Amino acid sequence: MNINATILVQAFNFFIVYWMLRLLLFKPIIAIIDHEKNRENALHDIINQQKKSLEIQEKERQHQWYICQEYFATHQPPILQQKPSLDEIDQDSEVVETVSADSIISTISQAKSALEEKIKHVY
């Protein structure tokens, strides 16, 4: 095997090119990749913190709901044991006036025009 000067020069040139590529190309690219990974990890951390915060808020909401249920269960008005008889209902009931058809139609048209007026202002 014959080692001549061209092989040594090629090896020297290879190491020079490798060193330049590593210094000028690979370091900035690796730095960019590391920066992106750090940003992604930071975003995942923020997402996990928000999830934990939502879980805590949900637990607090459930706790408040339980407190409200307990309060209303203990402070509910007493329920009548006996149903009122028909005689009691008839004595306490008020007389309802009959309404004419014209009165109903005029009330409906007034309500319709009021609703149409409000809808016009929405758009």
CA distance 96 to 70: 40
- Mean pLDDT across the stretch 60-71? 92
- The Cα angle at residue 25 between residues 10 and 33, in degrees rounded to 5: 140
C-alpha R_g of the chain:
42
Query: What integer pLDDT is reported at residue 115 of this predicted model?
Result: 86
Q: What are the CA-CA distances from residue 23 to residues 10, 11, 13, 31, 87 (Å)?
A: 20, 18, 15, 12, 102
pLDDT of residue 6 exceeding 80, the answer is yes
| Domain ranges across the chain | 1-76
- Mean pLDDT across the stretch 7-36? 91
CA distance 30 to 32: 5
More confident residue, 14 or 121: 14
Task: State residue 93 phi and psi, 5-degree precision.
Answer: -75, 150
More confident residue, 100 or 38: 38
Kindly report the pTM of this predicted structure: 0.43
pLDDT of residue 34 exceeding 70, the answer is yes
What DSSP state is assigned to residue 7?
H
